[in-house]
Structure 1
């Protein structure tokens, strides 16, 4: 029983520190990341239960979810690096990171839609 209470205490402490010290925009990105994981799981579950008849459609949707997840994680890490002077290795603005995120998302989704045929 002692381990479960210490585990619950650790989770409670982690959640409290996350809620207090994390920027609201980063929290929004985290919610979007959870949504992308949910979408990927739902699509994979659909393919397992129903079948893979429109295989290009499944592949495009699943790759879109995974790829957008990767792009968003990269954007999140750039925002954290630009906001913390200890982690900043070079002069990197959050506006530039957002612009790169938008452009890379547009290019990525262009290729995903192109793969649909």
Structure 2
């Protein structure tokens, strides 16, 4: 195997790993969306978590948490679920900082 072929093989494995990671994240966010729809009361818990993050003096994702606060104040489980299911780059950071945990 030439060096070029080895590099291509390494890059192919790396790409496959990234694709598996993205697929796993999507499955987790889909489960979160289903959970929020089934238990809309968790929106209040999420809002509490968001406000706790915003109260931290060194909150590094303040803009994202402010956006989550705005979204959660709408009290719409279907809207929150739609964001969690969305796969666009626009909502990527929101999904990464989703203030929910599966029980």
- Select the structure with the greater relative contact order (CA < 8 A; seq sep ≥ 6): 2
Alignment TM class, shorter chain as reference = 0.3 to 0.5
Answer 1 or 2: which has greater helix percent. 1
Larger radius of gyration: 1
TM-score of the two chains, using structure 2 as the length reference: 0.37
Q: TM-score, normalised by structure 1?
A: 0.33
